[in-house]
Structure 1
Amino acid sequence: MDILLSNDDGFIAPGINRLREALATVGNVITVAPDQDCSGVSNSLTLRNPLRLTRHAEGFYSVNGTPTDCVHLGLGLYADDPDMVISGINAGANMGDDVLYSGTVAAAMEGRFLGYPALAVSLASLTRGNVSHYDTAVRAVLYLLPRVPAYPDKNSMILNVNVPDMPWGQLRGFRVTRLGSRHRSEPVIRAEDPRGREIFWIGPAGDAADAGEGTDFHAVQSGYVSITPIHADLTRHRALEETARWLEAGDGAA
């Protein structure tokens, strides 16, 4: 199996390096990752500045760009098409509303846009602390990998995988889930730099709001690996007819 591996935590992050080592034992891996932490950049592309590819080892590169940039450049390194794109392992959860901001999910989504099945893999802390059980997330990926060829509609596959930060032996299994949602984020934090100039920090993400049975939040908190199939179609299909009626009703009032 030929795999393009990327992330948003940067090429020196432990998650991508642990996963790269493991994937190299089961397939051919090209790794292309940002040269710095790009958490929260979502699907952004670098369009105003040139990109530079730096080689660190055989099949291992960094880019002065975003995760989606990395996927584009990485695919250009293949003589033939890879079998899939994997993004991760992210240090921290990407559940619920996180997927809108996540560079980890964006790299997987870009792989799907370009025609390849994709996994976004995150190691989810249960306490909002630092994560440590990367070996568990690696084993989860290796468990899923041989199942990818049999996935229905494989070329439309984007699976958002969140692995609880716990020893493998303590996992309760795997669950297919839907995205939950969070409360709105905390307010912007106002501060001063050492020279007395005003600065601001974006507030932390809100706690889980919709975290009931069937959500990614519930699965992870219950000790299950959460697997959420996602897609890039942001259309609210249920609202199409009512929006059309709303527009028609407004025509008479204009």
Structure 2
Amino acid sequence: MKILICNDDGYQAPGLVALHAALKDVGEVEVVAPEHNNSAKSNALTLHSPLYVTQAHNGFRYVNGTPADCVHVALTGLLDYRPDLIVSGINNGANMGDDTIYSGTVGAAMEGYLFGIPAIAFSQVEKGWAHIDDAARIARELVLYMTRHHTTDGAHWLLNVNIPNRPYAELKPPKVCRLGRRHAAEKVISQASPHGQTMYWIGAAGPARDGAEGTDFHATAQGHVSLTPLQVDLTDHDALGFWTQAASQLARGEG
């Protein structure tokens, strides 16, 4: 098993260090991660400035770019082999509901998925790294399960995993969930810059709007590890009929 590890909190983040420690004897493990924190960078690629790869003292390699850059560079030139699995995380905070659209952690995993490689994004529900070794133990168990059951053989999928910040013995069994939804984010925070200009900081994420049973929000609140399979197809299939009819009317000049 060849595993590529990435994250969005940077190559020195405790979550990445714990994840590597948990997986280093599961297979042939390589780390290519961002140099700095790149939270909320989603699937962004750096196209207008050069990227550099540097090796840290512990053998990790880091890139002066986004999480998706790291995986993209690794898969298209840095590595001389194709990984069997991409593992991203462990993120400092939840990636549930609408967060997955913005998440650099999910973005790194998704980049691998777009290359046809199975990928997992791991996150802890609360910030602060409490019980990070217990979360890493859960990640190890999931990866070992996939190894034993050959779920990475010839298939590609994208799995989003959120782990409550609890001791291992207090974590409830994994539960497969759909994504919940959040309310709109809080208002931006405005401040005056030293030069007299108004600067803005993005506000905090809103509370859960749809945290009903069956969602990732509900499962993790109950102490379960949430597992959500994701897909990239953003097509609104239910609306195709409506828009097909509208396009036909427009084509006939019935606007």
In structure 2, relative to structure 1, the CA distance for the partners of 1:146 and 1:130 (3 Å cut) is: closer
Q: How does 1:1-254 map to 2 (within 5 A)?
A: 1-57=1-57, 59-75=59-75, 76-125=77-126, 130-149=128-147, 150-151=150-151, 155-250=155-250, 251-254=252-255
| Superposed displacement of residue 20, structure 1 | 0.8
Cα distance, 1:74 vs structure 2: 2.1
3-state SS of 1:156 partner: coil
Q: CA deviation at 1:210?
A: 0.7
Percent of aligned positions that are identical: 48
CA apart distance, 1:54: 0.4
Q: Unaligned regions of 5+ residues in structure 2, if any?
A: none
| Contact 1:148/1:154 (<8 A) preserved | no
**Letter of the aligned partner of 1:91 in structure 2?**
N
Distance across 1 between alignment mates of 2:92 and 2:85: 21
**Contact preservation (8 Å) 2:56, 2:62:** yes
> How far apart are residue 154 of structure 1 and its match?
5.7
TM-score, normalization by structure 2 = 0.93
CA distance in 2, matches of 1:148, 1:72: 23
Contact 1:192 1:199 (C-alpha < 8 Å) held by counterparts: yes
Q: CA 1:80–1:152 in 2, change beyond 3 Å: closer, same or farther?
A: closer
How far has the Cα of 1:139 moved from its partner?
1.1
Unpaired runs of 5+ in structure 1?
A: none
| Count of matched residue positions in the alignment of Structure 1 and Structure 2 | 251
Give secondary structure in 2 for the equivalent of 1:206: coil
CA distance in 1, matches of 2:208, 2:115: 32
Letter in 1 for 2:180: G
Match of 2:110, SS state, is helix
> CA shift at 1:253, angstroms?
3.0
Alignment partners' CA distance in 1, 2:45 and 2:100? 17
Q: CA deviation at 1:221?
A: 0.4
Contact 1:89 1:122 in 2 (8 A): yes
Judge conservation of contact 2:216–2:226 (CA < 8 Å) in 1: yes
Superposed CA deviations along residues 116-141 of structure 1, whole A, max 9, x for unmatched, are 1000000002xxx5341111211111
Distance across 2 between alignment mates of 1:91 and 1:194: 31
**Residues 5 and 32, structure 1, Cα contact 8 Å, conserved in 2:** yes
**CA separation in 1, counterparts of 2:142 and 2:29?**
16
By how many angstroms is 1:217 displaced? 0.4
Q: Deviations over 1:57-83 (max 9, x none)?
A: 464101000101100222333332211
Q: What is the root-mean-square deviation of aligned Cα atoms in Å?
A: 1.7
**What code does the residue aligned with 1:66 have?**
T
Which amino acid in structure 2 is aligned with residue 164 of structure 1?
P
